[in-house]
Structure 1
Amino acid sequence: MTDDVVVLRYGHRPGRDDRMTTHVGLTARALGADRVVLPDNAGQSAETIRDITDRFGGPFAVELRDDQRAYTRNWDGTVAHLTMYGERVQDVEADLRADSVASDTPLLVVVGGEKVPFDFYEAADYNVGVTNQPHSEVAGLAVFLDRLFEGEELEREWEGADRVVLPQETGKKVVDPGDLEREDGGE
């Protein structure tokens, strides 16, 4: 896997988009991206994502930037813009994977939060649609990243977590990672 899959959340309307922007960042983190770039007015979302990373592990970075158009235009790598108007993800995923992840070329995944200006479509190497139907940008990002990494991101090991969720059929079980090491015969 490449060390440089970045999700850029274009646009953020404080009060209206707080939860969605936060979930874009959390989805990026959970499903294999290395960092998320948020608009500079999304500070609360950035703090929430950093807090989750501190508690549940990383690495994962969060940046706030006010130059999202220039950031995208000047990106040194592949740009994939997620839009319902793009080519079907199933038609371009192999090419996109070969152009980015397989070749260690940095990938910028642009996820809109408000009306995306046409220059993002022009700057993109790939305009990618997940179902070409209206739905959540969080769902689109999740499907896109899973297709990009071919499910490998689901096996990721997390570093520095102070809690671990143990999978089980029912109920919730969250433990300190040190407890797991002691059970396995570690420290």
Structure 2
Amino acid sequence: MVIEVVRIGQRVVRDDRVTTHVALVSRSFGAKKIFMTEVNPEIKDTVEKINNTWGGDFVIEFVDNWKSVIKNKKSEGYKIVHLSMYGEKINQIQNQLRLEDKMLIVVGAEKVPREIYELADYNVGVGSQPHSEISALAILLDRIQDGQQFEKNFPNAKRKIIPTKNGKNVQVNETRD
């Protein structure tokens, strides 16, 4: 399954941290790429530093027009999944989502344009109460991949966490894989 994310909008300054976390969750939970509009360019630097240290080839691409990204991805066979607390319950739709080969997940910031609901193949809610888009994205990515995203290795990692019951164990590999 190929998963990409598009982040629509950003409440200036207030959302720098939230948007960074949307990118980090996308990366660590198995997405290949995130498209961002109206974003602080320092976010890209942060994620590139994380890729350099912890491995992986996750990509951030800045775009001016989210609508063209969605339309292009639809023409390439991607299913558009819009995260919305008003959408179908994830418990009822997760098995269907697992069958998709390619998906673009839409994560809004402020109120998303009504048009998103019509462009989406799926409007998915992880709950019917106000909640964080970061948590919604993490839950969706985990459910559709059934936890398998955590079994993959990130190539070219300088550091790798070795799971341990107590304490911290980090393997440092300066030569890179």
What is the TM-score normalised by the length of structure 1? 0.87
Note if contact 2:25-2:134 (Cα within 8 Å) is conserved in structure 1: yes
Residues 12, 42 of structure 1: 8 Å contact kept? no
Which residue number corresponds to residue 81 of structure 1? 82
5+ residue gaps, structure 2, are: none
1:85 offset after TM fit, Å? Answer: 0.5
Q: Measure how far apart 1:108 and its partner are.
A: 0.2
Give the share of equivalent positions with the same residue, in percent.
39
**Aligned partner of 1:143 among 139, 145, 167:** 139
Deviations 1:10-65 (A, max 9, x none): 11123110000000000011111111111153311122111111110112111111
Give the total of aligned pairs: 174
- 1:92 is paired with a residue whose SS is helix
Aligned partner letter, 1:129: G
Q: 2:45 maps to what in 1?
A: 47
Map 1:63-142 to 2 at 5 A.
63-76=61-74, 77-98=78-99, 100=100, 104=101, 106-142=102-138
1:28 aligns with 2:26: yes
- Runs of 4 or more, structure 1, over 4 Å off, are none
CA RMSD across the alignment: 1.8
Secondary structure in 1 matching 2:73: coil
- For 2:31 and 2:92, locate their aligned partners in 1 and report how far apart those are by CA, in whole Å: 21
Q: Tell me the secondary structure at the aligned position of residue 75 of structure 1.
A: helix
Q: Does 1:171 align with 2:172?
A: no
Partner-residue secondary structure (3-state), 1:21: helix
TM-score (norm 2): 0.91
Structure 1: which 5+ runs fail to align?
Answer: 182-187
